[in-house]
Amino acid sequence: MSAPTVLTVLLNWRTADMTLRAADSAERAMEGIEGGIVVVDNDSGDGSFEKMSAALKDRPRFRVVQSGRNGGFGAGNNVGIRLGLLGGVRPDYVYILNSDAFPAPDAIRLLLDYLEAHPRVGIVGSYIHGSDGEPHVTCFRFPSVASELEVAARTGPISRLLRHKLVAIGVPEATGPVDWLAGASMMLREEVIRTVGVFDETFFLYFEETDLCRRAAEAGWPTHFVKESRVEHIGSVSTGMKSWKRVPGYWFDSRWHYFRKVGGTSRAVAATLAHVLGALILKARRLVQPKIDPGPPHFLRDLVGHALRSLFRKQSVDRR
């Protein structure tokens, strides 16, 4: 029996130096594994493509390609996934690695071995930690109407009542099943891609991994967390999330699209109303506890405004 093959996809957007560091880590972690590494420049327009091409041109594991447009995280990774191995050969597994993530030397091998040993598992992800060694929360339940109420209210009795609906589940104590994983270090079985498809490119950023894991689960391919596979992650370098002063429109677009895919427009509306109710509960708490963090500026107004515009667009389309 031939050895399983792995295609590693590494997406860059205006972080060429960091992507090259991630490429070095990926190359070390791919030692002894059949396959290759595709670095996709997501139309950075800042010289990233040329810099990475020059740095990696004499390293046979690598191909550096240009996406041609910045369609977001899913679209950029899809370029690499569709490219496949040399000659267009399909790999047995696809490994997605963030440009600000650095796998330990055995991290990719451990994900591969886990999938080989568990043929009914479709997607696996690593234990993610910061450069200081602190664990990052990357394991989650699927979002729901109830979870929208809880995350907005941030109130003890509600959180306890809905504890089995909380999206973030912390860092599991052991390897095992989760609903979905953040895509900083994620390996997919090629059969999953053939069955449910690649990332939905309607999502520019955020919720695309959630959606992919959900589609895989519905097709009978669960997602597992592999704690032994360790990856260092800086986080939010390309997106700038840590420095957001206001949640960008594409986050609201992705959230609305996710809930619509799960249960139609009625589900998206119900999730939004639940979030509004939770936010009003939080505002009431802040009247007596003003030190409670209010959350991102203008978030509730932006959430409601986005929902109303989305409903108006749908009604306009329905009338045509």
pLDDT in tens, the chain (320 residues): 789 999 999 999 999 999 999 999 999 999 999 999 999 999 999 999 999 999 999 999 999 999 999 999 999 999 999 999 999 999 999 999 999 999 999 999 999 999 999 999 999 999 999 999 999 999 999 999 999 999 999 999 999 999 999 999 999 999 999 999 999 999 999 999 999 999 999 999 999 999 999 999 999 999 999 999 999 999 755 455 555 689 999 999 999 999 999 999 999 999 999 999 999 999 999 999 999 999 999 999 999 999 999 998 866 666 55
Helices and strands: H and E segment counts in the chain = 10, 11
Question: In the beta sheet, which residues pair with residue 140?
Answer: 168, 180
Q: Indicate if the alpha-carbon torsion angle 31, 102, 221, 215 is positive or negative.
A: negative
User: Phi and psi for 227 in degrees, rounded to 5?
Assistant: -70, -25
User: Phi and psi for 10 in degrees, rounded to 5?
Assistant: -125, 115
End-to-end Cα separation, the chain, in angstroms = 57
Q: Which residues of 91-111 are buried (b: 16+ CB within 10 A; e: fewer)?
A: bbbbbbbbbbbbbbebbbbbb
Residue 313 is predicted with a pLDDT of 85
| Residue whose token pair is 């990926």 | 26
CB 174 within 8 A of CB 229: no
